[in-house]
Copies of this chain bind each other. A is one copy, B any other.
Amino acid sequence: MKIRVLVSYKDSVLDPQGQTVKNALHTLNYDCVKDVRQGKVFELELEEVSPEKVEEVIPEIAHTVLANPIIEKFEWQVIEE
């Protein structure tokens, strides 16, 4: 089973990397881009787990290892059964 976890800064947290990308895009005349936020994506390959176990374990992993819950939020989805 393959799980995708997206980790990004909370909306209230400044994102200097995203700002830099936005500025670079404006320099290249992509003026239609109004804002950029950058985050991380993790693809986890799991084996021998029930859907219930996944529901339990993925938020736990995201909360303790992948994201810093003080400044980051995460969402996750199953991308391959």
- Please count how many residues in chain A sit with their CB below 8 Å of the partner chain's CB atoms: 32
| This chain's copy number in the assembly | 2
> Once the chains bind, are A30 and B42 in contact (CB under 8 Å)?
no
Q: Which residues in B have their C-beta under 8 angstroms from that of A35?
A: 44-45
CB distance from A79 to the nearest CB of B (A): 10
Answer whether residue A14 sits at the interface, using C-beta atoms and an 8 A cutoff: no
Task: With A40-B41, A41-B41 as known contacts, state yes or no: A46 contacts B33, CB within 8 Å.
Answer: yes
Given contacts A37-B42, A38-B41, could you give 7 more A-B pairs where the C-beta distance is less than 8 Å? A32-B47, A32-B57, A34-B45, A36-B44, A39-B41, A39-B42, A39-B43
Residue positions of A touching B, CB distance < 8 A: 6, 8, 18, 21, 24-25, 28, 30, 32-49, 53, 57, 61, 64-66
